[in-house]
Amino acid sequence: MNEQLLGIAQLILSILLIGAVLLQQRGTGLSSTFGGLSEVYSTRRGLERIIFVATVVLGILLVLSVILDLAR
């Protein structure tokens, strides 16, 4: 039962992580580095910051759940 819950949690976390990555502003990764930077580094504010923090938290939770699953 616990193994099923962990698997379901990993599935939900992975779907949420994919959604959070897709919601982030485009052109802020390595592609803008090679294509020419149009603006200087700016701080994240508002919704962009919330999505960024949520992406980091979801990624950490997913990694921790996988480590927990492997430790069994």
Stated pTM of the model: 0.76
The better pLDDT of the pair 18, 32 is held by 18
Own/partner pairs for 32-37, CB < 8 Å, 24+ apart? Answer: none
| Band of pLDDT at residue 2, cut at 50, 70 and 90 | confident
Exposed, middle or buried: residue 13 (CB in 10 Å: 0-12, 13-18, 19+)?
buried
The yes-or-no verdict on residue 29 having pLDDT over 70 is no
The better pLDDT of the pair 34, 46 is held by 46
